[in-house]
Structure 1
Amino acid sequence: MRGAAEDMEDVFDKRIAPILEKAMGEISDWPYFRALTPKGPGEVTVEGRPSVMAGCNDYLGLACDPRVTEAAAEAVRRYGASCSGSRSLNGTMVLHEELEHRIAAFLERPAALVTTTGFQANLMLTALLERGDTVFSDMSNHASLVDAVRLSPAARRRYRHRDLDHLERLLSAAGPDTAKLIVTDGLFSMEGDVCPLPGLGTLARRHGARLVVDGAHDIGLLGERGRGVAEHFGLMDAVDLQTGTLSKCFGSLGGFVAGPEHIVRFLRYTARPFVFTAAMSPASAAAALAALTVIETEPDRRQRVFNHAERLHNGLRALGYTTSPSVTPVVPVHIGDELLCLRAWQELLDHGVYTNAVIPPGVPSHRSLIRVTAQATHTEEQITRILDAFAAVGRLLRLVPRGAPDDYEPVDLIRPRHHATAPLPAESP
């Protein structure tokens, strides 16, 4: 007979999602948690195998820029490896205050607060939400925004991706007496499309809602000066609060919240994810400061990213792949079936190209994709290698027709204003 303890439920009795378990059993080389080593601009080694890096969020190529890495190294020599405490106690350094001032000035916001991670920056939104409030969230928002809403006592209403009509119906149903918050990604990280900010701003004003935009993937990349989707649409004032990360265009690690001074001050003292977390490291703060200087002074990097993205989109479409709805350097190559997507990832790696295989829960079921990203530091030869690999794998796995399509619709990218393209500074040996 089983004892009483054997009949009890066990909190450790867990299994991962069936789709992942099935894939693990059928795919010999699992595409996740692979050890990568930077080899040079646009290149990595994957467990000793040289590859073109086509699956990295370092859009501007600053993570290994000598100016950024030297700033980080100097900060470690001067301040040490860690602050060893929260910002409110012993963790605030001059570097943090300087970075906050620079980010606020860059985004033309009254104030900013830097956090240890970008995920943490979005979790801070929980401090703004009370019982009786209602949050309206795009169904494709990043997990950090989703978790911020889940952890709050506010009611949650999810509107269909970029569907303004659906959002308006939900706003109207909420009534005039509830405090309302609309939250959205600026640039959606999996499929590369952007939020319909003009319509969101109009609905926010009409229904008395506040609008928060997470600029993790667009700040530094979109807009004339790289200030994100709000600048791209010329609607800086339509956004009440901006959040973002320093791990994409800034080539570092950390996050930030930028907006009205009284809100930033409120979050500084009341947001539990901030108050009870050790401060971002000196190296991360110094690297972000150096990267911000490059972003402000080298607009050609953004133009170069979009040039590479245009070639990737149109080259893949000419082969017969679908990359819509992206209008940015995030290039989704739609595969559909989960196992086929994982096999395509492995074949691409075998052809010397590292990409991202995105399967559920990262995307809905049967909408798996290979995520490709362009970087400013890619060369034309590297872009050619990426397209050649997709051509070979497409034929091998019958993902594309045998002959090139007779015609295809060229991508119409969201571009920063034109700047004469100048050579990038030489990398140190």
Structure 2
Amino acid sequence: MDKELELLAGASLERSLRVSSPVFGSPGYTVRGDQMLLNLSSNDYLGLAQHPAIIDIMHRTLQSEGAGSGASRLVTGNRQPYAPLEAALAAWQNCEASLVVANGYMANIGAISALVSRGDVVFSDQLNHASIVDGIVLSRADHARYRHNDMEHLRSLLNKHRDKRRKLIVTDAVFSMDGDQAPLRELALLKREYGAMLMVDEAHSGGVYGKRGEGLCHELGIQDDVDIHMGTFSKSFGIYGAYICGSRTLIRWLVNKARPLIYSTALPSSIVAGISKALALVQADHWRREKLDAGSRLFRDSLRSAGFITGDGGSPIVPLIVGDNELALRFSSALEEVGIASVAIRPPTVPAGTARIRFSLSAAHSEKELTEAAAHIRIIGHQLGVVSS
């Protein structure tokens, strides 16, 4: 292990844990050491993580329900707050039923490994989240990886595997490291043509898109073609946990077959109650989505006009592609020196040669803060030779 760690360090790929603390009253900031930093690395897209109404209901539920759930949901951990939340989630997604699980990783590995197995095939975008990849591995189904957003490649793989027992197409709606969108309309057409199931991970699009924050599938009007709607509460909702929505049969099946649900302790009631309040705010506060979209456009356009490579996305995730691992670390350190928290993302999270600074914006950020941050980024980019003067 020591030798492998030395190799990682030598390639500027070793990771370490750093303490960050919230700044109450300033949700767009974080504290490291004694320095307050503009937080451009959080997934708190709608700025709800410090919302007083969420904190209040969580505090009151702690007083009445206690700290922990004590067991899995199938034993005694299925506390009272779950039922109204799952009913509200199903109505929000216009599905028959829903299921709340501990986190997005468990939701993906649980759903995929419960739906397919040996003799089946999963078609997965090559940039899908690691939890999707791990779910496919655990399922023991064949893994047919298609080139990123390449529908012709996917079609060729569907033709190749057309005789498989079950076919599952799975994709992120918004890709977490590039910020671009999956071609969901085309995926829906292919799903119908080849008799496949379609699963969409809305982790980075839930709350951000749709009139009531339902996600990108609803924004594009293809929600009825999606068999498995998955999303998280740890990003736009500002809390923790995940959901799966679909038919009553799907949810009954997952309750009986999804091992991460069956064998994990349930989320505490305080978390579930907080999610319910966050869901109401996500649906009602459309101004947060509007502000987030305006800030994202402003920030991205500022970086592009300065000559940075930021990919093709239009989401609150703005990657600044650097390429070299060590240069990405230097860029991140330089940003911290001027009061900006933005983490360097390196392989294996992203492909080799595409190390980047991943900016992740929030409705908590003001136009002034984003404009000033973009100015600092331009200066550092010139100093490090990432962009030419």
Q: Is the 8 A contact 2:27 2:49 kept in 1?
A: no
Going from structure 1 to structure 2, the CA distance change for 1:335 and 1:134 (only over 3 Å counts) comes to: same
Aligned to 2:47: 61
In the alignment, the residues of structure 2 paired with residue 239 and residue 293 of structure 1 have an alpha-carbon distance, to the nearest angstrom, of: 23
In the alignment, the residues of structure 2 paired with residue 24 and residue 295 of structure 1 have an alpha-carbon distance, to the nearest angstrom, of: 37
Q: Does 1:379 find its partner at 2:363?
A: no
Residues 4-58 of structure 1: CA distance to partner in whole angstroms, max 9, x if unpaired? Answer: xxxxxxxx78734834443268xxxx7x522111111311111221110111100
Q: Does 1:240 find its partner at 2:227?
A: yes
**Post-superposition offset of 1:384:** 2.3
In the alignment, the residues of structure 2 paired with residue 284 and residue 191 of structure 1 have an alpha-carbon distance, to the nearest angstrom, of: 30
In the alignment, the residues of structure 2 paired with residue 370 and residue 158 of structure 1 have an alpha-carbon distance, to the nearest angstrom, of: 26
**Post-superposition offset of 1:395:** 2.0
Q: Is the 8 A contact 1:76 1:282 kept in 2?
A: yes
Q: Does 1:87 find its partner at 2:76?
A: no
Aligned to 1:9: none
Going from structure 1 to structure 2, the CA distance change for 1:72 and 1:21 (only over 3 Å counts) comes to: farther
Q: Does 1:33 find its partner at 2:17?
A: yes
Aligned to 2:100: 114
**Post-superposition offset of 1:327:** 1.2
Residues 120-146 of structure 1: CA distance to partner in whole angstroms, max 9, x if unpaired? Answer: 111112011121111111100101111
Aligned to 1:350: 337
In the alignment, the residues of structure 1 paired with residue 107 and residue 222 of structure 2 have an alpha-carbon distance, to the nearest angstrom, of: 22
Aligned to 1:179: 166
Gaps of 5+ in 2: none
In the alignment, the residues of structure 1 paired with residue 322 and residue 147 of structure 2 have an alpha-carbon distance, to the nearest angstrom, of: 22
Q: Secondary structure at the match of 1:167?
A: helix
Q: Secondary structure at the match of 2:135?
A: helix
Residues 64-90 of structure 1: CA distance to partner in whole angstroms, max 9, x if unpaired? Answer: 111111121111111111101000011
Q: Which amino acid aligns with 1:401?
A: S
In the alignment, the residues of structure 1 paired with residue 70 and residue 90 of structure 2 have an alpha-carbon distance, to the nearest angstrom, of: 25
Query: Which residues of 2 match residues 267-278 of structure 1 at below 5 A?
Result: 267-278=254-265
Which residue, out of 361, 365, 374, partners 2:352?
Answer: 365
**Post-superposition offset of 1:233:** 1.0
In the alignment, the residues of structure 2 paired with residue 19 and residue 74 of structure 1 have an alpha-carbon distance, to the nearest angstrom, of: 46
Q: Which amino acid aligns with 2:129?
A: H
Q: Is the 8 A contact 2:81 2:269 kept in 1?
A: yes
Q: Does 1:43 find its partner at 2:29?
A: yes
Residues 149-188 of structure 1: CA distance to partner in whole angstroms, max 9, x if unpaired? Answer: 0001211110011100000000001123531000111110
Q: Secondary structure at the match of 1:375?
A: coil
In the alignment, the residues of structure 2 paired with residue 188 and residue 17 of structure 1 have an alpha-carbon distance, to the nearest angstrom, of: 31
Aligned to 2:144: 157
In the alignment, the residues of structure 2 paired with residue 24 and residue 159 of structure 1 have an alpha-carbon distance, to the nearest angstrom, of: 27
Q: Which amino acid aligns with 2:67?
A: A
Q: Secondary structure at the match of 1:378?
A: coil
Q: Which amino acid aligns with 2:19?
A: A
Q: Is the 8 A contact 1:42 1:382 kept in 2?
A: no
In the alignment, the residues of structure 2 paired with residue 361 and residue 334 of structure 1 have an alpha-carbon distance, to the nearest angstrom, of: 15
Q: Secondary structure at the match of 1:15?
A: helix
Aligned to 1:22: 11
Aligned to 2:85: 99
Aligned to 1:315: 302
Aligned to 2:387: 400
**Post-superposition offset of 1:245:** 1.0
- Normalising to structure 1: TM-score of the pair? 0.87
- Normalising to structure 2: TM-score of the pair? 0.96
Q: Which amino acid aligns with 2:302?
A: G
Deviates more, 1:177-186 or 1:87-96: 177-186
Q: Is the 8 A contact 1:212 1:243 kept in 2?
A: yes
In the alignment, the residues of structure 1 paired with residue 342 and residue 81 of structure 2 have an alpha-carbon distance, to the nearest angstrom, of: 34
Going from structure 1 to structure 2, the CA distance change for 1:261 and 1:364 (only over 3 Å counts) comes to: same
Residues 258-316 of structure 1: CA distance to partner in whole angstroms, max 9, x if unpaired? Answer: 10101101111221111000001222211111111111111010000011001100111
Which residue, out of 160, 182, 186, partners 1:195?
Answer: 182
In the alignment, the residues of structure 1 paired with residue 62 and residue 272 of structure 2 have an alpha-carbon distance, to the nearest angstrom, of: 11
Q: Which amino acid aligns with 1:164?
A: M
In the alignment, the residues of structure 1 paired with residue 234 and residue 196 of structure 2 have an alpha-carbon distance, to the nearest angstrom, of: 29
Q: Is the 8 A contact 1:176 1:207 kept in 2?
A: no
Percent identity (aligned): 35
Going from structure 1 to structure 2, the CA distance change for 1:142 and 1:17 (only over 3 Å counts) comes to: farther
**Post-superposition offset of 1:356:** 2.1
Deviates more, 1:302-311 or 1:41-50: 41-50
Which residue, out of 14, 35, 58, partners 1:72?
Answer: 58
Superposition misfits of 4+ residues, deviation over 2 angstroms: 12-22, 175-178
Query: Which residues of 2 match residues 301-340 of structure 1 at below 5 A?
Result: 301-340=288-327
In the alignment, the residues of structure 1 paired with residue 288 and residue 56 of structure 2 have an alpha-carbon distance, to the nearest angstrom, of: 20
